Chain A
Amino acid sequence: MALTGAEALVSTLTEMGVEYVFGYPGGAVLPIYDALYNSSLKHILTRHEQGAAHAADGYARATRKPGVVIATSGPGATNLVTGLANAYMDSVPLVAITGQVHSGLIGKDSFQEADIMGITMPVTKHNYLVKDGNSIPRVIKEALFIANTGRPGPVLVDITKDALMNHLLEPLLDAEIDLPGYRVKTTGHPRQIMLAKNLIQEAKRPLIYAGGGAGDAGESLLQLVEQYDIPVTTTLMGLGAFPGNHPLNLGMLGMHGTPWANMAIQECDVLIAIGARFDDRVTGNLSKFAPKAKIIHIDIDAAEIGKNVKADIPIVGDAKSILPELLGTEKLTHPNWIAEIREFALPKYQANKPNSDPCEVCNVPNLFNATPPPPCKRQESVTPKQVLEVVAATIKDKIIVATDVGQNQMWAAQYLPVDKPHSFITSGGLGTMGYGLPAALGAQLGRPDEQVVLVTGDGSLQMNIQELATIATYDIPVKIVLLNNRVLGMVRQWQTIFYESRYSQTCTGSVPDFCLLASAYSLPAVKILTREDCQTKLPEALLTKGPYLIEVAIDPDESVWPMVAPGASLCEMLHAELTPKPAWER
């Protein structure tokens, strides 16, 4: 007997090497769940479709394999939308399979009907509505292929219930991909590569600015840096693409970047952007960004070139194939340039300099503003820095960091250096609160031999807290470090700075008791209240086998510094003296 559409779907996924699917059943996908019943495909049942989407996303980021998520029609499908938008912004390969009502019921406002193809068009790389079961094998192969090639991204496949239930007419399981309109350019243009190579070799003050697209080119990036002695700054998405503890790593740039990374941008003569998209959180005021630099822009997406800045030498292609071609035979050094950058980390540059010359780039009188930030009221409370330094020291190189969104995310980026690509799992472009918990469990399933540490806040955690059940059910050993300040910290920080401390709707109060909640889910939990707890209870919990919730009480006035106000130039940093230690001093 020929397979049904649903059986063909499951067998195609298996054949294509998919190991995990994340999902939530419902009426329209009953045939898929029935086909899964006897399948070797591992299905992770989350407690909300959004959780399933983020879990598949976290799995995909950690493994560089497409994440697969299944949801039913109507509300199941619409619950995926944030997850798809999140994956789209961060170029994550995701395949979402949604059930659709019977093809005869489409357009009649049937029960649990939603036009998910129409809804998700702007947030997917591509999407399909499948009404004929015979095309399922081909469409699934195409979806996986599109999701994971070129600039990766999410693909949604909406399948009607009848297409899932009908038996396939012909053995179409071997159907090949047919995508005449989809072309991926991986190798760079030889002339552009030659021009770039010459420019890099002539540069006196070269700088690499690596984004999420550099992750797959990690090794070549390291080679390039070491051969040409070029300092590197990474975006939030690029963390890990270059070893966090390498002496040439300047850390993150942008709004909460390090002063020396931001100043290096303003002073460099050649800027090599690799798989980065000149996002507004990175560049600050675009017209004052890298004013002295010629820009080499390497990106696999031609549409990124010239979108925000004009590149002097654009190279369209895969960084993994292009970077090795930039290597020459000669070894270069830039000791003066590197020494100059390192000076920006010296205290004298971070003190207020009332009589100093205005910055020649942006005409701001002081390079760095050093008026003290608002003091924390409870001086004895644990600081995020202390917590994260203990985390880094305890887990060391086996760490995969997952974060939520807000202050917790920026502190994790500043204080938890990762040395491997694909090991800093965070919602960069969309900034999705509630991303962290499900993404962490997905990443942990994908890389079981390493330790996922989720850094989250009380606001973000509550946006997908139901996934504690998933973690408990499957005993997924994620360590959850909850920095609880009882406020929506990042928004509150902006209210402090830009809205005269008028704290409108940012105080969430002291409910719930997260440790009690954890125990309701049968998860072990501990409260860290003092600096002493931080040294004793925190490492103990981190090293305990299995999942653990670690709640740390922090002061609501703790803020993320330094900071470049939105629209300001990168050399206008608030509180530059409050920066983590540079990599070369660690």
Chain B
Amino acid sequence: MSKVTLAVLVNNEPGVLSRVAGLFTRRGYNIHSLAVGPTEDNSISRITIVVEEDEQRLEQVTKQLHKLIDVLKITDLTYEERVERELALIKVKGDKRSEILQIVDIFRAKIVDVSPKEVMVEVTGDMEKVDAFIQMLDSYGITEIVRTGKIALARSAKN
């Protein structure tokens, strides 16, 4: 099994996400993460999908996606030079606030909300960094997590 990151450009129309998600369900492919949003062109949305599958099935994923009429372009970013980011919001129990602050500092995360019992932290980075951050906070008592799923963009040519 290997993980690939696909950038899928689709028509920004009702039901398109449903088509993409439905295809994954129907063919039994595993979605690891999925993020959708508009692009520089209002009529086009970009779906970033991280798929975890063996080699032969990965090829099938791309081919089946290509058959959807609302899919305009698929780029496999796995082997490209790229920038990847994910954002997570995490609520942690605030008993040991100063220790939490130190970890937040190390990860260049941010406290975005404070209440008498909890703090809310925002962190961005690649998936591994977000995973590591969550692991570090785990022992302080995480009460809620939300993650956006990975987005990625290929780097421009340097010459």
Using CB atoms and an 8 Å cutoff, list the residues of chain A in contact with chain B: 117-118, 121-122, 125-126, 129, 146, 179-182, 301-303, 305-307, 310
A306 touches B70 (CB 8 A): no
B129 to chain A, nearest CB (A): 35
Across-interface contacts of A146 in B (CB, < 8 A)? 69
Q: B40 within 8 Å of A by Cβ?
A: no
Q: Which residue of B lies closest to A316 (CB)?
A: B63
Across-interface contacts of A181 in B (CB, < 8 A)? 10-11, 68-72
CB within 8 A of B67: which of A118, A122, A301, A306?
A301
Q: B98 within 8 Å of A by Cβ?
A: no
A44 to chain B, nearest CB (A): 29
Known contacts A122-B26, A146-B69, A182-B69; A303/B63 CB under 8 A: yes
A286 to chain B, nearest CB (A): 13
Across-interface contacts of B18 in A (CB, < 8 A)? 118, 121
How far is B71's CA from A179's CA once the two chains are assembled, in angstroms?
10
Q: Which residue of A lies closest to B11 (CB)?
A: A181
Contact residues of B: prevailing secondary structure: helix
How far is B72's CA from A182's CA once the two chains are assembled, in angstroms?
8
How far is B69's CA from A181's CA once the two chains are assembled, in angstroms?
5
CB within 8 A of B63: which of A117, A126, A182, A302?
A302
Interface size (B, Cβ < 8 Å)?
A: 20
Across-interface contacts of A301 in B (CB, < 8 A)? 67
How far is B150's CA from A341's CA once the two chains are assembled, in angstroms?
57
Across-interface contacts of A305 in B (CB, < 8 A)? 63
Q: B56 within 8 Å of A by Cβ?
A: yes
Query: Which residues from 60 to 117 on chain B have a C-beta closer than 8 Å to any C-beta of chain A?
Result: 60, 63-64, 66-72
How far is B19's CA from A118's CA once the two chains are assembled, in angstroms?
9
How far is B72's CA from A125's CA once the two chains are assembled, in angstroms?
16
Across-interface contacts of A302 in B (CB, < 8 A)? 63, 66
How far is B44's CA from A180's CA once the two chains are assembled, in angstroms?
12
B19 touches A303 (CB 8 A): no
Q: B37 within 8 Å of A by Cβ?
A: no
How far is B61's CA from A307's CA once the two chains are assembled, in angstroms?
10
Known contacts A122-B22, A146-B69, A181-B69; A117/B60 CB under 8 A: no
Q: B28 within 8 Å of A by Cβ?
A: no
Across-interface contacts of A129 in B (CB, < 8 A)? 14-15
Give a binary string over B2-27; 1 marks a CB under 8 Å from any A CB, 0 the rest: 00000000110011001100100010
Q: Which residue of A lies closest to B64 (CB)?
A: A303
How far is B68's CA from A126's CA once the two chains are assembled, in angstroms?
7
B22 touches A121 (CB 8 A): yes
**A126-B69, A181-B68, A306-B60 given; 8 more Cβ-contact pairs under 8 Å:** A118-B15, A121-B19, A122-B22, A146-B69, A303-B63, A303-B66, A303-B67, A310-B56
